Structure 1
């Protein structure tokens, strides 16, 4: 490696890109010296740790994937070269005194000062007691977890400030914000007395929901907590729950450290049965997984409600034996004798299912709690109710397919965005045979909601199911028109010709997949409505129609001496004389000219709506893998509202048909205008009212936030 190449920004950039390419191919990047590796790692860290750059929400899935590639490369470099990013090593951290303020499974907690603020110092006790070989393995695991933790930004994740190597002799420590209220376990002990059951449930359910949000974020980031219980949930200055000490099971794993014995045996009472006895479940490893985190979440809920560890009357061995046999802790009672609600108990039963594949995901836990817990922001509740439809679709799809493979242990890789991980309406668009008798049942359930000013959960499910189906159908319709897949299914020669020209028009005039264009319907419409060629509007329409009969390959043409010639390269010509005769005829029949102009505008308007929905679906697909936060939920709600608005724009088209189109359609003996008006009144208008009401309610919810 050229040493000078690491001394220029362009050189470092080339090396980083080469390292990313090698990582994609499964190869490691070698550096001639540790100093070289440190230079590259520090540059990577500038990107990962910069607050000015987009996060996963604002940057979208592409930045999210890129950031994860950088993070994985940083992890490999840190572990291989035994280094940390320079910015992660904190200088000037001071120990206030030698008083321990807490003892965990692998660390002791002390109070310190950094940058004028009070901080918690977690000294790795296991490091001091380890052999040199174990220390090296522990240090690598510690570096890995430090880099992972420092990159996490979420309201319900304790921030990781950095690492200090000079506060304690012979060991390293983590530096975290000091949380005066301590862990949720001890905080709740002090609060239980004097609270009514109603106040107690309100507080505990809020903390459970916040814990689930933090857990969902970790899982979206590809990180398993591995040691979830109330002692690892801290309470911040705003009385909110924040997860801490996630991934530390890997640190204890690095030294074969007997974590359960130091933890007073308590960790076993929160462990999933497949971790206690992997052989019993046909597994080769006791490594924690997202599913084991969900089991621990249910046990944590029992701890919070009861104020005691799960099954406190039993020994650790009795508890683990019960778990392996499929038995679970009993339903908790409230401080003043009340019972845990049926809804929460049902949730816990779904979280600690014996087969880990049957447990809820952290996403599903958030959705269910978001609709149950009082005090959850209305915007979040609305999004979670909508998301429930998507998750139910995905579970139904999985249930009706072949048995899935058991979930693998989590890693730091970004979440998958394959179609198999998405609900059916998010899948790639297949060939679509649009039959009105198939489409009608999609909208039919909404008719009964037309007079309602608010909606129940069941109503919301009906609305969202319709919107999701419409997204899929319209996007599919666009793709099929673009690829001319309807051509073989149509026998009428005129219709075939029209479909071919529609496909050509889409490719030549609407192929820009810019999200800005897709969201801005007026600019897209203005651009698409511009007729190709030269001359007045009537001339362009006539040439377009005539050229459509001669050339199937393009809609672009130019005026020449003897007429108008296409630009496909095959010299298709529309004679000037024929064009003039047709234009004169059109001018002599103003009504006919109006029909052509209005039909062109209406047709292009419909295509614009189809394209907007297609682009919107692409945005949702791209956004699917982004970690779920309040910000990302707000973005997703906006996407769903846009889809509903596009649906409204399409449904309202029949009410905006110009007179020329209405006359053409119904000014003949065979037309049935009465049935058409009845269809609008009894079918379209009720659905329009429901969607309009839902959009207004959504706007009010977001505004109230």
Structure 2
């Protein structure tokens, strides 16, 4: 079977690299498109093919966008809301829910004017597609999608500890624990950037805390594949160029595109929140005042708690470097992790007796809800490849 799957992936890659074949592939609709999306997602769920997964994922993204469909494994069975709305964001409201007795977080799309519905549905679908591919101890897993009250929902595990600011308020951890939480966030960011994902909206309320006390990055509503132009909405006042103003790098405030360096800038703002318990530029009355300061090259001033010890001075120096005006001068995520774990700061990842989730967490949850094999049957694959007219000629061409 492994040999057959390798042969199938090789044929798909050749088809994707042929402009005419790729164009016809993207023109698939309805049942053909659905089967292809299911196949591509199942291939992405395998541990193999890391070298060509970006190509497969790009094909999945584009076909999903053009067809208006997503892989069927994203769809969950009956979901129930529990209690009151927890919070709201730029495009969605957050509720607690239940799926098959498991407590989950439900991000429900808000109702907008008809003119915006298609664009926002595409944004939510894009978030789901990106999120589904991610698996790391410091990145919140994705369970699937659900339509509730005619509104699209993105479903993930419920984090009882809440976001980072809730956790810090309730637990009041020591400096060593704070440094561990900061390193957790840096490890999650390093992973996202290694996957070519720009988060785009890093802030403490988008950092959740797992049952073991580990920090994990959540809310990918503004994340983007680094080399793909992202949608921008004009109906929200909560964001400036796709992110909350107090966490925006100066180049974003000047209208430039989000990138890895802007995530690094926002990471330093998250560190400031974790260390002080206050938002960046908390002394300024509104976002416009913050924007004026940032454009002038200002950054948050050093708090008292970041003085008087070599460790805290080293940590503050790292934040200063992350806030550099010149984006090329900001340290990349791997260097941030190295400096945090180095002898001058000495941060260690949050320890836990057991992992909160492993590499197969989301797929295990999926299989517990849907009795289906990881890959389609041989008959299904034959139908996908040979059932529509253009594919049979393309595959025969490749075989020859």
Task: Report the TM-score range of the alignment, normalised by the length of the smaller protein.
Answer: 0.7 to 0.9
SS at match of 1:260: coil
Corresponding residue number in structure 2 for 1:267? 244
Corresponding residue number in structure 2 for 1:582? none
Instruction: Report deviation, 1:175.
Output: 0.3
Corresponding residue number in structure 1 for 2:160? 180
Contact 1:141/1:254 (CA < 8 Å) preserved in 2? no
SS at match of 1:182: coil
Deviations 1:666-700 (A, max 9, x none): xxxxxxxxxxxxxxxxxxxxxxxxxxxxxxxxxxx
Corresponding residue number in structure 2 for 1:675? none
Unaligned runs of 5+ in 2: 350-357, 360-400
Distance 1:19 1:28 in 2: 10
Corresponding residue number in structure 2 for 1:314? 284
Contact 2:340/2:347 (CA < 8 Å) preserved in 1? no
Instruction: Report deviation, 1:208.
Output: 0.8
Using structure 2 for the length normalisation, give the TM-score: 0.77
Corresponding residue number in structure 1 for 2:312? 341
Deviations 1:313-367 (A, max 9, x none): 11322221111111111112339x9677110011011101001111111111111
Instruction: Report deviation, 1:148.
Output: 1.1
SS at match of 2:42: helix
Contact 1:294/1:362 (CA < 8 Å) preserved in 2? yes
Instruction: Report deviation, 1:275.
Output: 0.8
Distance 2:100 2:325 in 1: 48
Number of corresponding residues? 340
Deviations 1:61-111 (A, max 9, x none): xx32212211111101100100000111112222224x1112223221111
Corresponding residue number in structure 2 for 1:79? 65
Distance 2:139 2:277 in 1: 23
| Divergent runs of 4+, >3 A | 9-19, 23-28, 30-33, 249-255, 337-340, 372-375
Distance 2:204 2:123 in 1: 24
Distance 2:337 2:319 in 1: 12
SS at match of 2:211: coil
Match status 1:214 vs 2:188:
yes
Deviations 1:233-255 (A, max 9, x none): 00000100000013526699443
Using structure 1 for the length normalisation, give the TM-score: 0.45
Instruction: Report deviation, 1:140.
Output: 1.7
Query: 1:46 and 1:323, CA in 2 relative to 1: closer, same or farther beyond 3 A?
Result: same
Match status 1:155 vs 2:140:
no
What RMSD over aligned residues (CA atoms) do the two structures have, in Å?
3.1
Query: 1:109 and 1:11, CA in 2 relative to 1: closer, same or farther beyond 3 A?
Result: same
Indicate the structure with greater helix content: 1
Distance 1:245 1:93 in 2: 20
Corresponding residue number in structure 2 for 1:367? 338
Instruction: Report deviation, 1:16.
Output: 3.4
Contact 2:90/2:238 (CA < 8 Å) preserved in 1? yes
Match of 2:124 among 114, 131, 142: 142
Distance 1:10 1:156 in 2: 31
Corresponding residue number in structure 2 for 1:242? 216
Instruction: Report deviation, 1:14.
Output: 8.7
Corresponding residue number in structure 1 for 2:383? none
Corresponding residue number in structure 1 for 2:97? 112
Contact 2:161/2:208 (CA < 8 Å) preserved in 1? yes
Instruction: Report deviation, 1:368.
Output: 0.7
Structure number, greater radius of gyration: 1
Query: 1:312 and 1:164, CA in 2 relative to 1: closer, same or farther beyond 3 A?
Result: same
Corresponding residue number in structure 2 for 1:295? 265
Indicate the structure with greater strand content: 2
Query: 1:114 and 1:373, CA in 2 relative to 1: closer, same or farther beyond 3 A?
Result: farther
Corresponding residue number in structure 2 for 1:326? 297
SS at match of 1:108: strand
Query: 1:320 and 1:164, CA in 2 relative to 1: closer, same or farther beyond 3 A?
Result: same
Distance 1:113 1:24 in 2: 45
Distance 2:230 2:165 in 1: 22
Contact 2:193/2:333 (CA < 8 Å) preserved in 1? yes
Query: 1:136 and 1:22, CA in 2 relative to 1: closer, same or farther beyond 3 A?
Result: farther
Distance 1:354 1:28 in 2: 45
Query: 1:28 and 1:363, CA in 2 relative to 1: closer, same or farther beyond 3 A?
Result: farther
Corresponding residue number in structure 2 for 1:229? 203
After TM superposition, the structure 1 = structure 2 runs for residues 530-569 of structure 1, keeping only pairs within 5 Å, are none
SS at match of 2:85: coil
After TM superposition, the structure 1 = structure 2 runs for residues 486-565 of structure 1, keeping only pairs within 5 Å, are none
Contact 2:185/2:216 (CA < 8 Å) preserved in 1? yes
Distance 1:305 1:10 in 2: 49
Contact 2:124/2:221 (CA < 8 Å) preserved in 1? no
After TM superposition, the structure 1 = structure 2 runs for residues 58-97 of structure 1, keeping only pairs within 5 Å, are 63-97=49-83
Contact 2:178/2:274 (CA < 8 Å) preserved in 1? yes
Which is further off, 30-39 or 82-91?
30-39
Match of 1:355 among 294, 306, 326: 326
SS at match of 2:51: helix
**Of the two structures, which has the highest relative contact order with CA contacts closer than 8 Å and spacing of 6 or more?**
2
Corresponding residue number in structure 2 for 1:641? none
Contact 2:222/2:243 (CA < 8 Å) preserved in 1? no
Instruction: Report deviation, 1:21.
Output: 2.6
Distance 1:261 1:10 in 2: 44
Unaligned runs of 5+ in 1: 1-8, 279-284, 378-629, 632-705
Deviations 1:26-70 (A, max 9, x none): 746244542111111111111112xxx32xxxx5xxx32212211
